[in-house]
Structure 1
Amino acid sequence: MIKHATTHNNRVGYVTRLSAFAVAILMMIAAPIAYTDKAFADQYDNQLSALRAQADQYQAQANELRAKADTLQNKLDEITAQKSAIEARISISQTRHDQLVQEIAQNEKKMGQAQDVLGDTLASLYVDGKISSLELLASSHNVGDFIDKQEYRSSVRDELKKSIDTIKALKKKLDADRKDLEKVLADLATQNAQLAATQAEQARLVEQTRGEEAAYQQLVNSTRSQMAEVTSQQQAYYQSLVSKGGGGNSGVIGSFSYSNLSPSNGAGGCSGGYPYCQAQDTMVDPWNLYNRECVSYVAWALEKRFNKKVNPFRGDGNATDWPVSAVTWSGAMRVYSPQRGDVVVLPASGSFAPIGHVMIVESVSGNTMFVSQYNFYGTGQYSTMNVQNSGVVLLRFQNR
């Protein structure tokens, strides 16, 4: 049995991406896999593609709601700060109002005392006022004493009048200040009440938006769980095909042939130095490709191991796109004599349709290339094998 797998590009933002697990339909040498096998493979790919697009859509909605909620929260924080400032002004104004009330009370008490003194004095002056000037003169020891008594009576009247006028003026001013402050307090209370209503509404919007975001995030998680289940079914399907072929560590497909696949099931774990070892297709690498796919591994190896220039792809990172997209974005060249660090592309032809497969050349011996790769057999794992320089496209990337 001949078995092979292909890997696809998973560029950020594209909800119509092809299968997460780029595995081509396995073929038998003596007896090709029946059409029903291919139908099953397409079914898995289609399910994963639809689920991935749905998850991306839900995630985009969740991200949009998160941004909206953050904006609403910032506005809520501003409203809360304004309300706190007004409450501080109310506290200061209320303290001043209470002080004015105390001062007014004290002033009224002073005015009452002054009025009592004035009453007593006026009564005394009234009695003195019945004494004629001649009698006052007669009762005086001398003319100077008479003049002193006259001036005393006048000065007492003037001082009392002045004191009362001062107290009345102060009372008038304190009353005016109290009324002004009460108006300020009323205005501040109104503003505070309005801000409290706005704050409550803003908090409701934040809570509502956060809830909607959480709901979409739950949909994302649910969809990813479905993807994991479909992936598990797909892996079981491919392993069943491997079992049919009795190992599947070599094969011929058209003019392309491979041998010495190690491990023979293509499941060498997340090794080879590749760093993006999270669950397959759960993150995007620096080249806009999903992790643990053949294209992601080769892009990483080119840049980090072989010091080649690899620019991010732009929605055209499927293996079959590389003969054009790698030339366009990274200046790669097509070559015909392989060397270490070149890329081997299996084009989308025959059973490798629709998305192809890429590998990287580790060494060359005659017409045989020893390559490393990810996701052969759709495992999302590392493996190595020998391939012949036939039925493939070779790309050479520029040094950095």
Structure 2
Amino acid sequence: MKLRSTTPVSVSLVSRASLVAMSVLLAGSGVFGLASHVLARDYNAEIQAKQKEVDSYNSEASRLGQMADNLQSELDKINGQIAAIQAQIADSQTKINNLNEQIKKNEASIKQNRKAMGRILADLYVDDQISPLEMLASSNNISDYIDKQEQRSSLKSSLNDKIKEIKSLQKKLEENKKSVENTLRDQELQRNAMASKQSEKAKLIADTKNDQNNYAALAQKRNAEVSKLREEQAAANRRAVGGGVSIPGGIPGGGGYPGAWANAPLDAYVDPWGLYTRECVSYVAWKIHSTGRYVPHFGGAGNANQWPSTAARHGIPSGSTPKVGSAAVMNIGYYGHVMYVESVNGDGTITVSDYNFAWDGLYRHYTRSASGLTYVYF
């Protein structure tokens, strides 16, 4: 139940100690008829501490989620690079296969040319066994002799050219194959390196998401603990009413409280008196103001348990006698609680109305014991 002003007061160890001491004194004097352990326990401080943990865990989970998204983006890039390298490897392998096929064909061509060269060499050998005189004698004339000589020279030249061409082609094919094999080897090394990065990045993403889930689980656990504390605090507040009176369930927007505030989330606005809306303090301030009475601006000192001292600074008295229209202050917990006195009954009880008694921002109207309260007479 955040019964607070516009400037929440932090809970120090000193204030906690003071609260514990006050609780013991009040319980011993029987002012509230409430067990001392209820007053000594500062639910608000516990809730605030756990809520800070929740915020911290959620913040870390959000940061890790963003990190995981960034890592996934980097992994997607790596996957794209690996796919591109794999395509290059496939292209290089195709080139090697084509070169192997060309080398195979060239080897067949070399084999055929060797057979042809063998025949040419055989013919030249036979011709070499014939002397120039015999060749001249076997020629029809000088011109025929010259033609035979030129033919022999042409065959030798053609043979030398063919040998050079085959050797050049073979050398070029081998060089091309070696070059492509080197390229393929480099590409495979690059792919393996990228695959290693891919594996590392994927593991980092998995670890980051696991940490994110752990922090989210911690936040969920703390939220459950906060809910349990709120339930315990609400139960303690109900016990603090005394007189064995049962506190009814809350009503959304009840008591005539302005709809703009009543229908908005708890603490959504600050009212004209510097108080958070849908809190007990805001409702009672509005209730008193609606009857035409003056309500000062609380200026950061509007917690319910601060009302008597804040009102005194504006000349507004307080006392222990209940009066219709007064503000009934219950000094419980860190902030306290304030109610509007609707009627004073003859059996020592009062009928009150309030907001947010059970930390739910809702309106209630009920009868309770008049004792143990401080009344502020606006």
Partner of residue 381, structure 1: 361
Encode CA deviations 1:175-197: one digit per residue, 9 max, x unaligned: 11211222222222222222222
Equivalent residues of 2:4, 2:302 under 8 A apart = no
Q: What's the offset of the Cα at 1:171?
A: 1.0
Partner of residue 73, structure 1: 72
Equivalent residues of 2:250, 2:363 under 8 A apart = yes
Partner of residue 341, structure 2: none
Equivalent residues of 1:347, 1:356 under 8 A apart = no
Partner of residue 251, structure 2: 267
Equivalent residues of 1:65, 1:209 under 8 A apart = yes
Partner of residue 3, structure 2: 6
Equivalent residues of 1:5, 1:375 under 8 A apart = no
Equivalent residues of 1:136, 1:146 under 8 A apart = yes
**Which residue identity lines up with residue 224 of structure 1 in the other structure?**
N
Q: Which structure dedicates a bigger proportion of its chain to helix?
A: 2
Kindly tell me: are residues 343 and 198 of structure 1, through their superposed partners in 2, closer, same or farther at Cα, counting changes over 3 Å?
Answer: farther
Equivalent residues of 1:235, 1:379 under 8 A apart = yes
Partner of residue 53, structure 1: 52
Q: What's the offset of the Cα at 1:275?
A: 11
- For the aligned residue pairs, the C-alpha RMSD in angstroms reads 4.4
Partner of residue 329, structure 1: none
Equivalent residues of 2:251, 2:362 under 8 A apart = yes
**Which residue identity lines up with residue 357 of structure 2 in the other structure?**
Y
Q: Within 5 Å, which residues of 2 pair with 1:315-330?
A: 319=276
**Which residue identity lines up with residue 6 of structure 1 in the other structure?**
L
Partner of residue 181, structure 2: 182
Partner of residue 288, structure 1: none
Partner of residue 367, structure 1: none
Q: Within 5 Å, which residues of 2 pair with 1:1-400?
A: 6-7=3-4, 33-34=32-33, 36=35, 39-40=38-39, 42-241=41-240, 244=243, 266-268=250-252, 272=259, 292-293=265-266, 295-296=267-268, 298=269, 319=276, 347-348=302-303, 349=306, 351=331, 376-383=356-363
Q: How many residues align?
A: 294
d(CA) in 1 for partners of 2:240 and 2:137? 146
1:79 is paired with a residue whose SS is helix
d(CA) in 2 for partners of 1:356 and 1:106? 100
Equivalent residues of 1:5, 1:352 under 8 A apart = no
The runs of 5 or more residues in structure 2 that have no matched partner are 13-22, 24-29, 278-288, 309-330, 339-352, 366-375
Kindly tell me: are residues 269 and 197 of structure 1, through their superposed partners in 2, closer, same or farther at Cα, counting changes over 3 Å?
Answer: farther
d(CA) in 1 for partners of 2:239 and 2:336? 22
Kindly tell me: are residues 38 and 319 of structure 1, through their superposed partners in 2, closer, same or farther at Cα, counting changes over 3 Å?
Answer: farther
**Which residue identity lines up with residue 183 of structure 1 in the other structure?**
N
d(CA) in 2 for partners of 1:353 and 1:59? 28
Mark the structure with the bigger radius of gyration.
Answer: 2
The runs of 5 or more residues in structure 1 that have no matched partner are 17-24, 26-30, 249-263, 278-291, 303-316, 321-335, 359-372, 393-400
Kindly tell me: are residues 116 and 48 of structure 1, through their superposed partners in 2, closer, same or farther at Cα, counting changes over 3 Å?
Answer: same
Structure 1 length-normalised TM: 0.60
Encode CA deviations 1:221-263: one digit per residue, 9 max, x unaligned: 1111122222223333434556858588xxxxxxxxxxxxxxx
